[in-house]
Amino acid sequence: MTYRVADDRGGVRAHNVGDVRVLITGGAGFIGSHVADELADRGHDVVLLDALLPKAHGTAEPPLWTKRHEIVLGDVRNAELLDSMLSGVDVVCHQAAVVGHGIDPSDAPEYASHNDYGTAVLLAAMHRAGLRRLVLASSMVVYGEGRYACPEHGVVRPLPRRQSDVDAGNYDPRCPCCDALLDWRKVPEEAPLDPRSTYAATKLAQEHLAAAWARQTGGNVWALRYHNVYGPRMPRDTPYAGVASLFRSALRNGQAPTVLEDGRQMRDFVHVTDVALINALAVEQPAPDGVLEAVNVCSGDPHTVGDLATELAAACDGPAPLIVGGARPADVRHVVADPAKAVERLGFKAQVAFADGVADFATAPLRDPVRS
């Protein structure tokens, strides 16, 4: 089978792969379901595994959009189930995780159990099955704060933000050498890792577990560090939903989207169909043996959180955003991905422009509210 893959200069290159059978954990979720569609559309054979966690799903039935696929309802922490499912599988695409930032340390066991123990059980089962290819859903949260430069001292690790600065509306972090306010830079994959939340710590631990597995077995891993993913099937208005979903839910209720700080926080909003595309490219092109290769997954076209709220308000014909100041303790100021490695290593270039993705998101179907 031949695929045509966009190159970084707007052209395409041909790419040959055979069809593969892919186990997608978390395949009923927001991102996993799009990965399943993309892989199936490209002629691959997919099987989904999902526990339909009550915190993520509104019903105990798989969402309608998974109906076209083979789906097994079960838990990735169930070793026997994995043993029965892995026979005949060529690649595992591991999307299953508990997401969101967590509320307080009482939810740490749940994050660690699903995200890290679950990954450990999966890796052991892959080892028993002699399976060597893993695509892992990682996250930009492994970086913590983004990358910053001081006009005087170049790239520096920023100081934690002071409450007095936040209260005075100075949201940018300061230089540890001279106290100047810093400018953001693009974060490359080799940037220091500094997870700030329970969730972030468990996402980084997934990478470490997978890297150890690759070293021990000669297996290979793409760790895809997704930035801010948005698009159809996003969960609706829950504490676990991303900012795009919260803005849209407010607008659908006739309310203005509420934007923290001054709205100038920089992010990279990447459309979920582009995240599915890079997963397919990673399934089709093995990483080098024995290592985990981390790759940023982003659009390469950063925008502020305020831009997102303004565009979405216009697309929904709703009230203009309310900029309310303040900052939450775990919030980082700017995180902007460097897209170069994804282009170079996987031939990935995001296809959905911000304006088009946001306009479509204004009316896109979202996932039902969670069961309480």
Ligand X SMILES: NC(=O)c1ccc[n+]([C@@H]2O[C@H](COP(=O)([O-])OP(=O)(O)OC[C@H]3O[C@@H](n4cnc5c(N)ncnc54)[C@H](O)[C@@H]3O)[C@@H](O)[C@H]2O)c1
Can you give the binding site for ligand X, defined by CB under 6 A? 25-26, 28-32, 49-53, 56-57, 75-77, 95-99, 114, 118, 137, 139, 203, 226, 228-229, 235, 242
Instruction: Look at residue 250 and give the partner it binds from Zn ion, ligand X, none, a contact being a CB closer than 5 to 8 Å depending on partner kind.
Output: none
The mark string for 179-198 relative to Zn ion (x by CB under 5 A, - otherwise) is: -x------------------
Instruction: Look at residue 153 and give the partner it binds from Zn ion, ligand X, none, a contact being a CB closer than 5 to 8 Å depending on partner kind.
Output: Zn ion
Question: How far apart are CB 6 and ligand X at their closest, in Å?
Answer: 22
E-strand stretches of the chain: 2-6, 12-16, 21-25, 45-50, 70-73, 91-94, 133-139, 147-150, 154-156, 183-185, 220-226, 228-230, 258-260, 266-267, 269-271, 292-297, 303-304, 322-325
- In the chain, what is the straight-line distance between the N-terminal and C-terminal CA atoms, in Å? 46
Phi-psi region of 189 (alpha: psi -120 to 50; beta: other; left: phi over 0): alpha
36 with 52: CB under 8 angstroms?
A: no
The closest of 348, 253, 259 to 295, measured between CA atoms, is 348
The mark string for 78-97 relative to Zn ion (x by CB under 5 A, - otherwise) is: --------------------
308 with 247: CB under 8 angstroms?
A: yes
Provide the 8-state DSSP code for 220.
E
Nearer to ligand X, 38 or 50 (CB): 50
Residue nearest to ligand X (CB): 29
Residues 129-148 that bind Zn ion (CB under 5 A): none
Residue tagged 């993705």 (tokens): 357
Candidates 31, 35, 93, 175: give the one binding Zn ion (CB under 5 A): 175
Candidates 12, 155, 177, 322: give the one binding Zn ion (CB under 5 A): 177
Nearer to ligand X, 174 or 199 (CB): 199
Nearer to ligand X, 31 or 131 (CB): 31
Instruction: Look at residue 98 and give the partner it binds from Zn ion, ligand X, none, a contact being a CB closer than 5 to 8 Å depending on partner kind.
Output: ligand X
| Helix/strand/coil percentages in the chain, nearest 5 | 35, 20, 45
Task: Tell whether residue 1 is a contact of Zn ion (CB under 5 A).
Answer: no
Question: How far apart are CB 28 and ligand X at their closest, in Å?
Answer: 4
Instruction: Look at residue 76 and give the partner it binds from ligand X, Zn ion, none, a contact being a CB closer than 5 to 8 Å depending on partner kind.
Output: ligand X
357 with 34: CB under 8 angstroms?
A: no
Instruction: Look at residue 177 and give the partner it binds from Zn ion, ligand X, none, a contact being a CB closer than 5 to 8 Å depending on partner kind.
Output: Zn ion
Question: How far apart are CB 133 and ligand X at their closest, in Å?
Answer: 17
Report CA 81 to chain centroid distance, whole Å.
26
Nearer to ligand X, 268 or 311 (CB): 268
Nearer to Zn ion, 174 or 367 (CB): 174
Task: Tell whether residue 13 is a contact of Zn ion (CB under 5 A).
Answer: no
Within 152-285, residue ranges assigned H as helices are: 163-167, 198-217, 243-252, 272-284
The first and second tokens of residue 215, run together, are 């070293």
The closest of 71, 81, 1, 61 to 32, measured between CA atoms, is 71
- The footprint of Zn ion (CB under 5 A) covers 150, 152-153, 175, 177-178, 180
